[in-house]
Amino acid sequence: MNLTIIGTGYVGLTTGTCFAEVGHHVTCVDNNPEKIETLLAGRIPIYEPGLEELVKKNVAAGRLKFTTSTADGVKSGDVVFIAVPTPPQPDGSVDLSFIEKVAREIAECLTPEIGYRVIVDKSTVPVKTGEKVAETVRRYAPQGVEFGVVSNPEFLREGCAVDDLLHPDRIVIGSNDDRALALMHKVYEPFVAPVLVTDINSAELIKHAANSFLALKISYINAVSAICEASGADVEKVAEGIGTDKRIGRQFLNAGLGYGGSCFPKDVKAFIAISESLGTPFGLLKEVERINGDQLERFLAKIREKLWVLREKKIALWGLAFKQNTDDVRESVAIRVAKKMIAEGATLIAWDPEAIETSKRFSGITEGIEYAPDMLSALDGADALVIATEWSHFANVDLTEIKKRLRTPLVFDGRNLLDPAAAAATGLEYHSVGRPAAG
């Protein structure tokens, strides 16, 4: 099939590439000319494991193209996906101006000669956005054009997006238009996954409800971790004991610094705003947010308690990305920790396997931070080590190197990566989340 993706960011580029990989002909559109030039030059603008090889392979096979022209995209794609940002507004509700603009742009490119087009929203949007997209396209398109609107939310996880897209747990397709549904079934025919067909409102709601539930699970175990710290229990054991119950599951029960990234914080806020706008406030989610904020503060309080004063302290920071296997620092909790420590006068020596460049460009941190050339040299002469992202590099470190290089052997592990007993045996004063100190 001929498919078009409008918005070639994390979601658009990986989705478009995976559609090409399964045999479709895909045109990826972006209105950022720098991004398209990078892609046309054979480079990819983000780090996502396995993506670069797939992009190169499918460009070479003639199945994947890049352009800044929405008109070309709408002309060539029978199905046009929208994958543009849906950022939060100051009050938490979703800024839908990118979606509205693309809907207008698509409408203006439609002609009766082009024929029927399916317009698919892949961005995460509030329930009832599909109705608005259909209204907008109808208003701005010339008389006589035919189109259908579909909601097809995306569930990929950054860091394993290629695998998630090629082998999804499920595919959700929401539409009230049989012609559009038939084409969507063809799009997803090459994928082996259950397809859930719903009305458009339910599909939109599924995405916000799913992400809010995952955030809730994280906050749940983080609240339990606070109780563990106060009582001397071990949150890892508790999580195992809870998570082996099949009804609950072990995933997303890792105590740590709380959730961050470009999706969970904004999607929880959005779901709160949506529920309020519909007159059915979702107070539980406000508590999820409160626990998430408190978790970071409790961790910073531990650092303050041990270092007493952060001013003039040199702190090694391992991790800048919002999670492992990505260079994405949007809403990263690691960046929030960094900003708070810098605000209190500390100087950071930071290292991350992939996110140093994105941190320099997008974190907003302009002073109080230096970037180390490698993981171990970040430690040299530092008063403490703070681990803020769950990269496997940190979990597999030689603990004696930490002891040897730090000025004082204080380690604050915000992701529970190291073994407390091994850390203590190496002579480290080790603090983690919800686990008793060893020794």
Q: Identify which of residues 154 and 204 has a Cβ nearer to ligand NAD in the complex.
A: 154
Kindly indicate which of the ranges 84-92, 110-118, 225-233, 342-350 contains the residues binding ligand NAD, using the contact rule CB under 6 A. Answer: 84-92
| Residue 88 binds ligand NAD (CB under 6 A) | no
x/- map, 351-370, ligand NAD, by CB under 6 A:
--------------------
x/- map, 261-300, ligand NAD, by CB under 6 A:
-xx-------------------------------------
x/- map, 44-83, ligand NAD, by CB under 6 A:
--------------------------x------------x
Which of 265, 266, 253 lies closest to 220 in space, CA to CA?
A: 253
Among 76, 123, 332, 363, binds ligand NAD (CB under 6 A): 123
| Residue 124 binds ligand NAD (CB under 6 A) | yes
270: left (phi over 0), alpha (psi -120 to 50) or beta: alpha
x/- map, 22-41, ligand NAD, by CB under 6 A:
-------xxxx--x------
Q: Identify which of residues 35 and 313 has a Cβ nearer to ligand NAD in the complex.
A: 35
Which of 131, 142, 155, 163 lies closest to 54 in space, CA to CA?
A: 163
Which residue out of 18, 28, 109, 263 is catalytically annotated? 263
Q: Are 129 and 86 in contact (CB under 8 A)?
A: no
| Residue 323 binds ligand NAD (CB under 6 A) | no
Q: Identify which of residues 78 and 328 has a Cβ nearer to ligand NAD in the complex.
A: 328
Name residue 66's beta-bridge partners: 28
The number of residues that bind ligand NAD (CB under 6 A) is 27
CB of 407 to ligand NAD, least distance (A): 38
Among 5, 11, 329, 378, binds ligand NAD (CB under 6 A): 11
Please indicate if the annotation marks 156 as binding a ligand: yes
Q: CA 94 to CA 99: how far, in whole Å?
A: 11
Q: Identify which of residues 204 and 383 has a Cβ nearer to ligand NAD in the complex.
A: 204
Q: Identify which of residues 56 and 157 has a Cβ nearer to ligand NAD in the complex.
A: 157
CB of 178 to ligand NAD, least distance (A): 26
Please indicate if the annotation marks 104 as binding a ligand: no
Kindly indicate which of the ranges 95-103, 225-233, 234-242, 428-436 contains the residues binding ligand NAD, using the contact rule CB under 6 A. Answer: 95-103
Please indicate if the annotation marks 360 as binding a ligand: no
Q: Identify which of residues 64 and 310 has a Cβ nearer to ligand NAD in the complex.
A: 64
x/- map, 147-176, ligand NAD, by CB under 6 A:
-------x-x-x------------------
Please indicate if the annotation marks 307 as binding a ligand: no
Among 4, 86, 292, 347, binds ligand NAD (CB under 6 A): 86
CB of 211 to ligand NAD, least distance (A): 8
Spell 397-436 as b/e; 16+ CB within 10 A means b: bebeebeebbeebbbbbbbbbbbbeebeebebbbbbbbbe
Q: Is 18 a catalytic residue?
A: no
Please indicate if the annotation marks 157 as binding a ligand: yes
Catalytic residues: 263
Binding site members for substrate: 155-158, 207, 252-256, 260, 323
Per the annotation, where are the binding residues for NAD(+)?
A: 30, 35, 86, 124, 158, 266, 330
Q: Which residues bind ligand NAD (CB under 6 A)?
A: 6-12, 29-32, 35, 70, 83-86, 98, 101-102, 123-124, 154, 156, 158, 262-263
